[in-house]
Chain A
């Protein structure tokens, strides 16, 4: 079973440009979430998409946006790049985990390798 695939793996942009990152989830996973990872800050939640709808959104400016397609693949876009946007962007997919009796279980995230963005 293929894992979570993120492209591109590395990219360099300059301030003011925009960037689009792509994420293909594990087959059958309908939830895709995005995280920004920077040294000292850990992982910060950007947003989550489920069945093409944004289900949750973190505390990031509107320059950060995303979408999900009918095949569950997701893209995130960052416009008007700033130096502080340099980070590893991680995508994670998840299936629905329902325990016996219908009780919702923990949705385990499966992460991709990430897209490392450098803004100069």
Chain B
């Protein structure tokens, strides 16, 4: 069975500071992809960043970066220079390669950026 665990239901960070959101997952598969999605209040879910499991190099997208530890099955998201617009629910997710789009999501971390 595939599971995703986000152990931090709520977090807060001061504007311009750095925050790290944790995610662990469990799977017996070797080929998969990992994602972080963001859901702002009353707005649509959007992709933040993705990581291919076969790549050693951690993905980065502007202020967003991940720390992918495949052996530990850990996939944390680091947000640098936090902005008010980063306030949202963040979901960690993964999908096994070549199985279509059956994504497994964590329960989410609610992040509040404090001015």
Chain A positions near chain B (C-beta within 8 angstroms): 3, 31, 33, 35, 40-45, 48, 50, 55-56, 58, 90, 92, 94, 104-114
Nearest CB in chain A to that of B97: its residue = A104
Chain A residues near B103: list those with CB within 8 A.
Answer: 33, 35, 43, 45, 109
Chain A interface mostly helix, strand, loop or mixed? Answer: strand
Query: Quick check: A111 and B45 within 8 Å, CB to CB?
Result: yes
B75 at the interface (CB under 8 A from A): no
Chain A residues near B46: list those with CB within 8 A.
Answer: 111
Query: Quick check: B101 and A31 within 8 Å, CB to CB?
Result: yes
CA distance A40 to B107 in the complex (A): 6
Which interface residue of A3, A40, A41, A45 has the most chain B CB atoms within 10 A?
A: A45
Chain B residues near A35: list those with CB within 8 A.
Answer: 103, 105
Name 7 interchain pairs, CB-CB below 8 A, sorted by A: A33-B103, A40-B107, A43-B91, A104-B97, A106-B95, A111-B46, A113-B43
Query: Quick check: A41 and B47 within 8 Å, CB to CB?
Result: no
Chain B residues near A45: list those with CB within 8 A.
Answer: 102-105
Chain B residues near A31: list those with CB within 8 A.
Answer: 100-101
Query: Quick check: A111 and B44 within 8 Å, CB to CB?
Result: yes
Query: Quick check: A56 and B99 within 8 Å, CB to CB?
Result: yes
Interface string of B8-38 (1 = CB under 8 A from A): 0000000000000000000000000101010
